[in-house]
A = this chain, B = another copy of it.
Amino acid sequence: MSEFYAGKRVLVTGGVGFIGSNLALRLVELGAEVVLVDSMLPAYGATLRNVEPVRDRVRINFSDVRDRHSMGYLVRNQDLIFSLAGQVSHVDSMTDPMTDLEINCSSQLSLLECCRSGNPGVTVVFASTRQLYGRPRYLPVDEDHPQEPVDVNGINKLAAEMYYTLYHRVHGMKTVSLRLTNTYGPRMDLRSNSKGFAGIFVRRALEGAKIHVYGTGQQKRDFNYVDDVVEALLLAGSTKAVLGKVFNLGHPNPHSLLEFVETLRGLIDFEYETVPFPAEAKAIDIGDYYGAYDRFREATGWEPAVDLAEGLERTLAYYRRSGAPAS
């Protein structure tokens, strides 16, 4: 794979955000010519500190994926596009659904249209989400599980993913979607209170503040360390056999939220307690979730290399070194 990306022209939307910036660092390492697109929306977690190590080796273009004109220009002459820009808060998608629709749904169709007219041969890797399954009917959830999203975010991401698959089938475009699950690691947004518990827990642990676990804490999740997700994205972009398809990511060892907290407590001192779900979170809660990623492993050889304890240790080390952002 290292040879594949050397000299490739690669566009990353959401390139200054959590996963995008980690991907950018790796792409530079692999010798790609990297353009990062980011709108730097204040609430979305992008900070230039994320890409500090490669600032002089990437081109950063401040633009919004909702802007069809700049995107139409930017997609030209690229070999690959990683479509990572997204509104990721489930709760925010319920309070401000139109923004979620614009970013997660309309902009994706618009990006595909830009490519269809301006660069139909480009490979596009779309960061989808396990949120589109809704409450699991069985575990682990495989790609054939019914799609019954429980929030606006899940509906919009599902529609977007369907566009990507459709544009492969009807227009012959080189698209692939990965359904990401809980991703954590260096450069994750610690400031937001609406983007999932991992960032909140790490921030509060670093602050020495008490952590509140919603519900019983027994709900299970599969946690992917961001380096493993970056590896998956790179494999998706360089493997012909995956085109036109959708794949789960996942981890062989799912953990409950309490196990997550206890693992974190093995590394840093803090207190925690379980509290009842707030109504707005309860209404869209999905219960236990972990996914089967056999198909992606079989297609690409991908396997998560980092377990939760190691991943959290690296995450804490990053923020201790770089300084945790103010909440």
Bound-complex Cα distance A149 to B152 (A): 19
Contact status B155-A163, CB under 8 Å: yes
Chain B residues closer than 8 Å to A284, beta-carbon distance? 170
Minimal beta-carbon separation of A152 from chain B (angstroms)? 7
Contact status A109-B113, CB under 8 Å: no
- Report which residue of A94, A150, A155 has the largest number of chain B beta carbons within 10 angstroms of its beta carbon: A155
Bound-complex Cα distance A106 to B107 (A): 12
Q: Give this chain's copy count.
A: 2
Residue A101 interfacial (CB < 8 Å): yes
Beta-carbon nearest neighbor of A280 in chain B: B170
A155 and B151 in contact (CB under 8 A), knowing A97-B113, A101-B106, A110-B98?
no
Chain A contacts with B in 136-189, Cβ cutoff 8 A: 146-147, 149-152, 155-156, 158-159, 162-163, 166, 169-170
Minimal beta-carbon separation of A121 from chain B (angstroms)? 19
Among the listed B106, B162, B283, which residue makes an inter-chain contact with A98, where contact means beta carbons less than 8 Å apart?
B106
Q: List chain A positions with a Cβ less than 8 A from chain B.
A: 94, 97-98, 101-102, 105-106, 109-110, 113, 146-147, 149-152, 155-156, 158-159, 162-163, 166, 169-170, 283-284
A150-B170, A155-B162, A170-B283 known; 6 new pairs, CB 8 Å cut-off, are A102-B106, A105-B159, A149-B162, A150-B169, A155-B163, A159-B159
